[in-house]
């Protein structure tokens, strides 16, 4: 009996230690991601300052060239090719800095996507423990939901529209908004209730009988 109790305690301590380790690793990962984001923001700010400096320096150089004129004459003493050279050099420098800025912006976007993906996975795990889910429903050609609203689908009140992905934009949730082809509806709710929505997004199935059955049963 003491040996059995000792084994049980050892097993529980092992589980607790694993949970603590996972928590510490998760926190360390989030902190590391935030540090990377801060560094990239600082790098982007420095690049923007350098671009402004190039513009300012070019302005000063052009002003200096413009001041080198023969008194009482509009003729410049500076050859035109020198001005073109200054502008070309400044343009190349700015183009290089903008390319670096685009690279930093892409890295920031990837970190944001990683953060969102991690948060969605955590949310999905929490929802699965409660027999719920967060699902995406693409709106494709021929689907019964095209031109319909979420309200017209007659889904249970437990199903909520989180957002609609329309091209590069996130459209605010509105059950009265008409769904279009290539939209992606993000909905949350109990898995059993979300299953009722699949027929509306499947072009090979007719969702109206399911809706009529639901209304008949509710009556």
Tens of pLDDT, residues 164-183: 988 878 888 887 889 999 99
Q: Hey, what are 64's tokens? A: 């200096």
- Residue 68: phi and psi, rounded to 5, are -90, 75
Q: Hey, what are 175's tokens? A: 């059950």
- CA–CA separation, 152 and 61 (whole Å): 66
pLDDT tops 60 at residue 218: no
List Cβ neighbours of 210 (8 Å cut-off, separation of 6 or more): 196, 199
pTM for this structure? 0.43
Higher pLDDT, 138 or 206: 138
- CA–CA separation, 175 and 169 (whole Å): 17
Q: Hey, what are 72's tokens? A: 């009482």
Q: What is the sign, positive or negative, of the torsion defined by CA atoms of 83, 87, 92, 93?
A: positive
- CA–CA separation, 116 and 205 (whole Å): 33
Query: Where is mean pLDDT largest: 17-26, 110-119, 188-197, 204-213?
Result: 188-197
**Residue 1 pLDDT level (bands cut at 50, 70, 90):** very low
Per-residue CA distances from 66 to 9, 11, 194 (Å): 85, 83, 71
Q: Hey, what are 156's tokens? A: 């249970």
What pLDDT is attached to residue 199? 84
């Amino acid at each position: 009996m003491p040996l059995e109790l000792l084994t049980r305690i050892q097993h529980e301590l092992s589980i607790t230690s694993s949970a603590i380790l996972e928590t510490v690793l998760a926190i360390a990962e989030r902190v590391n991601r935030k540090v990377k984001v801060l560094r990239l923001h600082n790098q982007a700010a420095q690049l923007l300052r350098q671009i402004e400096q190039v513009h300012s320096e070019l302005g000063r150089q052009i002003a200096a060239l413009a001041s080198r004129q023969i008194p009482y004459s509009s003729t410049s003493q500076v050859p035109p090719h020198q001005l073109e050279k200054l502008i070309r050099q400044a343009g190349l420098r700015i183009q290089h800095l903008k390319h670096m800025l685009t690279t930093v912006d892409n890295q920031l976007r990837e970190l944001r996507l990683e953060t969102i993906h991690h948060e969605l996975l955590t949310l999905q795990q929490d929802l699965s423990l409660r027999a719920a889910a967060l699902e995406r429903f693409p709106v494709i050609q021929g689907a019964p939901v095209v031109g319909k609203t979420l309200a017209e689908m007659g889904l249970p009140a437990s199903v909520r529209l989180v957002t609609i992905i329309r091209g590069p934009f996130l459209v605010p949730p509105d059950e009265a908004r008409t769904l279009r082809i290539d939209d992606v509806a993000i909905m949350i709710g109990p898995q059993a209730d979300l299953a009722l929505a699949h027929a509306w997004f499947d072009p090979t199935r007719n969702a109206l009988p399911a809706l009529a059955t639901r209304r008949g049963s509710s009556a």
